[in-house]
């Protein structure tokens, strides 16, 4: 933390052991936030914690083991991080799964994991966070969706896209409550380099590096945008076009 920089609040990030979650942790720490980091791979969280504290020794970084498909554990961990951080100002439901197979091809278990992680797990995180935010009368819930949520995607992407569409609708439902003091954001990342897409990077259009893509996410989150396609170029235009393009064209993006 830069000399004289004030603490800006506390953020809980799930799926923080790698990829977009880990990079968000680095960038939010640099902005002055204390962090609660949760993921299944606690050894990676410990390494990330040490990295962040070495760069920003005045920050507070709490870590917790968490499988978001365990709803009871989600509520327990969020409540514990709320206690350890002295309050939660923002929760980013980032944990996700990209595994999957075309329906009817023997990939039921992979699709089930993705649906449970990306949708049911997000509902659990949202429920736990909203308990905290309703009680304190303020907060910022951020749900990470995907550009694939805009339209149906083919084969291995079908379940993933459907689960991310569910996330976006859940965010809209929460906003419809018109809760005073509580902001709800849904972020639609385009193709940002991460562990999840490492196996398809050579054929992924408009791919940006992790730091660049996450910077766009952080900017949108800091502005408390209700809905944001990131990075803005080209995904704002792509997102608008995808709603009207024939499926024969949309399929080329998946």
* 95-99, 108-112, 192-196, 202-206: least confident range: 202-206
Whether the pLDDT of residue 84 is over 50: the answer is yes
Q: Which domains does the chain have, with CATH numbers?
A: 9-253 (3.40.50.720)
**Is the pLDDT higher at 198 or at 170?**
170
Q: What is the mean pLDDT of residues 107-127?
A: 98
Averaged confidence pLDDT in the chain? 90
Per-residue pLDDT at 4: 44
Counting residues of the chain whose pLDDT is more than 70, the rounded percentage is 88
For 226-252, the pLDDT digits (tens) are 999 998 777 677 767 777 767 676 666
Contacts of residue 183, Cβ cutoff 8 Å, sequence gap at least 6: 139, 140, 141, 224, 226
Per the annotation, the verdict on 160 as an active-site residue is yes
Per-residue pLDDT at 3: 45
Per-residue pLDDT at 223: 97
For 124-152, the pLDDT digits (tens) are 999 999 999 999 999 999 999 999 898 88
Task: With cut-offs at 50, 70 and 90, classify the pLDDT of residue 197.
Answer: very low
Q: What is the mean pLDDT of residues 100-123?
A: 97
Per-residue pLDDT at 70: 98
Please give the Cα distance from 106 to 229 (Å, whole number).
33
Counting residues of the chain whose pLDDT is more than 90, the rounded percentage is 76
Q: Which of 160, 188, 191, 229 is catalytic?
A: 160
Please give the Cα distance from 139 to 223 (Å, whole number).
14
**Is the pLDDT higher at 222 or at 197?**
222
For 21-72, the pLDDT digits (tens) are 999 999 999 999 999 999 999 999 999 999 999 999 999 999 999 999 999 9
Per-residue pLDDT at 205: 65
Whether the pLDDT of residue 101 is over 90: the answer is yes
The answer to whether the CB of 128 falls within 8 A of the CB of 79 is yes
């Amino acid at each position: 933390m830069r000399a004289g920089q004030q603490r800006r609040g506390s953020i809980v990030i799930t799926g923080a052991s790698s990829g977009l979650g880990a990079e968000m942790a680095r960038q939010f720490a640099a902005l002055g936030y204390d962090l609660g980091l949760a993921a299944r791979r606690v050894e990676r969280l410990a390494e990330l914690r040490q990295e962040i504290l070495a760069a920003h020794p005045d920050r507070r970084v709490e870590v917790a083991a968490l499988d978001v498909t365990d709803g009871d554990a989600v509520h327990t961990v969020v409540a514990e991080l709320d206690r350890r951080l002295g309050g939660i100002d923002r929760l980013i439901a980032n944990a996700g799964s990209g595994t999957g197979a075309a329906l009817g091809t023997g990939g039921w278990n992979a699709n089930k994991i993705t649906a449970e992680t990306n949708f049911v797990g997000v509902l659990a995180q949202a429920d736990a966070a909203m308990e905290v935010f309703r009680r304190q009368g303020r907060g910022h819930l951020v749900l990470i969706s995907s550009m694939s949520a805009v339209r149906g995607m083919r084969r291995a992407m079908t379940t993933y896209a459907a689960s991310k569409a569910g996330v976006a609708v859940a965010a809209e439902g929460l906003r419809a409550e018109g809760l005073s003091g509580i902001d709800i954001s849904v972020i639609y990342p385009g193709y940002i380099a991460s562990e999840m897409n490492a196996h398809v990077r050579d054929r992924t259009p408009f791919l940006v590096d992790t730091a660049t893509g996450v910077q766009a996410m952080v900017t949108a989150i800091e502005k408390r945008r209700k809905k944001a396609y990131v990075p803005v170029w080209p995904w704002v235009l792509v997102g608008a076009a995808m709603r009207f393009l024939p499926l024969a064209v949309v399929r080329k993006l998946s």
